[in-house]
Amino acid sequence: MSQNINEFKICTLASHSALQILKGARDEGFKNIAICERRHLRAYESFRVADEIILVDSFSELPGLDQQLKDKGGILIPHGSLVNALNTDEINALQLNYYGNKHVLPWESDRKLQREWLSNAGLTLPRIYSNASEIDGPVIIKFDGAGGGKGYFLAHTPEEFETKIKQHPERGYIIQEYVIGAPMYMHFFQSSLTGELEIMGFDRRYESNVDSVGRIAAKDQLDLEIETSYNIVGNTPLVIRESLLSRVLEMGERAVEASKKIDGIGLFGPFCLEAVITPELEFFVFEISARIVAGTNPYISGSPYTDIRYNEPMSTGRRIAREVKLAIEQDDLERIFSK
């Protein structure tokens, strides 16, 4: 006998893209639960978007709530703050229903595995320098576990790299070719029920201070000795040149196809390919996020692309809830939850 959506509650950590996940759940007829850090209660109460708020001091307390959430019929929707707060083992140990494929998580969080995945997909990636002495052009230095681009810096020569890296002792990092072009974050939804890949939208990040140094004259930039930094403070919506859409779909499909090697099932649900597009219109993909990204937040009422497909407001959060609802109605929950 098939189950009813009243037996389930969509739950998520109150952070990152929680507002659209909670609203999307409601729009699809689910009750929802927000797990909220005390210091952020005000924000989540003020929008009146949560049916129930469970207060914690820190998201790291989530494993202690596992049984309680399971008993309530909780379905956990992962996002960036979940993968920051808990490690892969802790997420794997959770017993409550989890939307998405947990087997993909290590491939997303480990830079080497992620690169293997994207190269297997046949995507063009920026070069990685295994030795700083080989630096022969602009490079970006990315630290392990850096949240939102914090602390990244640029260098052009081995000497410049050596001087700057001294300010960051004892941190793991990679040296990556800095591709000069237009950043483009591409949001997808892979339905495990229909097998179809949907384009949900695009964004670009709004980062401090890289997106504001252009507001002062080049001379002032030099005089002030400004170091470029990439700390994310928001996202701005974007549409892509329409003639590039077929390539975007192809790249998304390849990423999904290559992920099937991981466990036979692979990636499903929302994900994002993060690229820089050069003047020759070549896409250099520098990262994949195998879950909803905060760049979908401008589209709580839908993006231009979801508007065409759905003719009703369809955020990525709501699209997730719709998929869960369809799976419940079709009695097909094993296709959307992790084992």
Candidate ranges 97-105, 172-180, 258-266, 294-302; the one touching ligand AMP (CB under 6 A): 172-180
Assess 176 for contact with ligand AMP (CB under 6 A): yes
Candidate ranges 9-17, 18-26, 176-184, 248-256; the one touching ligand AMP (CB under 6 A): 176-184
**Residue 124 in contact with residue 284, Cβ under 8 Å?**
yes
- The end-to-end CA distance of the chain, in Å, is 21
- Considering only residues 200-259, where is the footprint of ligand AMP by CB under 6 A? 205, 207, 230
Candidate ranges 97-105, 157-165, 174-182, 236-244; the one touching ligand AMP (CB under 6 A): 174-182
Provide the 10 A C-beta neighbour count for residue 29: 11
- Considering only residues 16-75, where is the footprint of ligand AMP by CB under 6 A? none
Q: What is the DSSP letter of 227?
A: P
Provide the 10 A C-beta neighbour count for residue 327: 21
Work out how close the CB of 211 gets to ligand AMP at its nearest, in angstroms, rounded to a whole number.
Answer: 8
**Residue 192 in contact with residue 268, Cβ under 8 Å?**
yes
Q: For residues 43 and 313, what is the distance between their CA atoms, to the nearest angstrom? A: 23
Work out how close the CB of 173 gets to ligand AMP at its nearest, in angstroms, rounded to a whole number.
Answer: 12
Candidate ranges 23-31, 161-169, 175-183, 221-229; the one touching ligand AMP (CB under 6 A): 175-183
Residue in 178, 188, 299, 305 binding ligand AMP, rule: CB under 6 A: 178
For 179-193, b/e burial (b = at least 16 CB within 10 A) is: bebebbbbbbbbbbe
- Considering only residues 123-142, where is the footprint of ligand AMP by CB under 6 A? 126, 140
Residue in 151, 183, 234, 313 binding ligand AMP, rule: CB under 6 A: 183
- CB-wise, 85 or 326, nearer to ligand AMP? 85
Q: How many of the chain's residues bind ligand AMP (CB under 6 A)?
A: 16
- CB-wise, 37 or 203, nearer to ligand AMP? 203
The residue with tokens 């209660």 is: 41
Name the residue among 73, 115, 88, 119 with its Cα closest to residue 324. 73
Candidate ranges 109-117, 173-181, 294-302, 328-336; the one touching ligand AMP (CB under 6 A): 173-181
Name the residue among 78, 107, 117 with its Cα closest to residue 337. 78
Binding-residue pattern over the window 258 to 287 for ligand AMP, x denoting contact by CB under 6 A = ----------------x-x---------xx
Work out how close the CB of 289 gets to ligand AMP at its nearest, in angstroms, rounded to a whole number.
Answer: 9
Q: For residues 146 and 200, what is the distance between their CA atoms, to the nearest angstrom? A: 26
Rg (CA), the chain: 21
Q: For residues 270 and 290, what is the distance between their CA atoms, to the nearest angstrom? A: 7
Candidate ranges 72-80, 111-119, 129-137, 170-178; the one touching ligand AMP (CB under 6 A): 170-178
Work out how close the CB of 221 gets to ligand AMP at its nearest, in angstroms, rounded to a whole number.
Answer: 18
**Residue 192 in contact with residue 226, Cβ under 8 Å?**
no
Q: For residues 275 and 112, what is the distance between their CA atoms, to the nearest angstrom? A: 17
Work out how close the CB of 181 gets to ligand AMP at its nearest, in angstroms, rounded to a whole number.
Answer: 7
Distances (CA, A) of 83 to 99, 214, 252: 14, 33, 22
- CB-wise, 69 or 184, nearer to ligand AMP? 184
Assess 179 for contact with ligand AMP (CB under 6 A): yes
Q: For residues 252 and 206, what is the distance between their CA atoms, to the nearest angstrom? A: 24
Interface with ligand AMP (CB under 6 A): 126, 140, 149, 152, 176-179, 183, 205, 207, 230, 274, 276, 286-287
